[in-house]
């Protein structure tokens, strides 16, 4: 059997050295339906996300995509090439910022940069990796950024 077929798609701890930059291939256009479903599913009644008339009277002139949807999409876009099958647990998100608004119809792409990596002191089969995820719209403008700490599998341990 081909050994590559049994290998997880994500990267092991040893493959995540500081300075590694991963430009994720999957992109996603956010629709109005995505925004309404996410916002109502999470019980957020904010009219800035749901009410076109209200949003028209704001500085944005139209509904904004819920920032937590943007954050969720940012992390999700990273999974295939970063953590699919190699993540043990997410340990936390910090430094979450949304420098530009996201609107219905924006297409989001992402990249992840490894900032730190260290072996776990309590788990010889794992390492702790800190990455900065960045989401950009179709114009290349950064719309979201966060740091994520993840407990990752070590290869062959």
All domains of the chain in start order, with CATH: 11-30+65-153 (3.10.129.10)
pTM: 0.93
Name the pLDDT band for 58 (thresholds 50, 70, 90).
very high
The per-residue pLDDT for range 109-147, each reduced to its tens digit, is 999 999 999 999 999 999 999 999 999 999 999 999 999
Q: What span, in angstroms and rounded, lies between the C-alpha atoms of 128 and 20?
A: 15
The pLDDT value given to residue 31: 98
In the predicted model, what is the mean pLDDT of residues 92-115? 98
Token pair belonging to 125: 């089969």
* Residue pointed to by tokens 């341990």: 157
Q: If you ran DSSP here, which 8-state letter would residue 82 be given?
A: H
Name the pLDDT band for 2 (thresholds 50, 70, 90).
low
CA dihedral 97, 103, 104, 109 (to 10 degrees): -50
Token pair belonging to 65: 């995509």
In the predicted model, what is the mean pLDDT of residues 56-68? 98
The pLDDT value given to residue 3: 59
The Cα-based distances of 28 to 34, 61, 87, 110, 117 in angstroms read: 11, 23, 23, 10, 29
Q: Which of 1-5, 53-57, 106-110, 112-116 has the lowest mean pLDDT?
A: 1-5
Q: What span, in angstroms and rounded, lies between the C-alpha atoms of 53 and 63?
A: 9
């Amino acid at each position: 059997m081909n050994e590559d077929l049994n290998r997880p798609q994500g990267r092991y701890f040893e493959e995540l050295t500081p300075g590694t930059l991963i430009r994720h291939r999957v992109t996603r256009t956010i629709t109005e339906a995505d925004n309404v479903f996410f916002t109502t599913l999470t019980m957020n009644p904010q009219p800035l996300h749901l009410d076109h008339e209200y949003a028209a009277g704001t500085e944005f002139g139209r509904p904004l995509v819920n920032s937590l949807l943007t954050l969720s999409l940012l992390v999700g876009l990273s999974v295939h090439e970063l953590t699919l099958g190699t993540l043990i647990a997410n340990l936390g998100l910090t430094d979450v910022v949304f420098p530009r608004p996201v609107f219905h119809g924006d297409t989001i792409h992402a990249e992840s940069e490894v900032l730190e990596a260290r072996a776990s002191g309590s788990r010889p089969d794992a390492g702790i990796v800190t990455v900065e995820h960045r989401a950009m719209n179709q114009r290349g403008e950064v719309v979201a950024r966060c740091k994520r700490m993840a407990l990752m599998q070590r290869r062959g341990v």
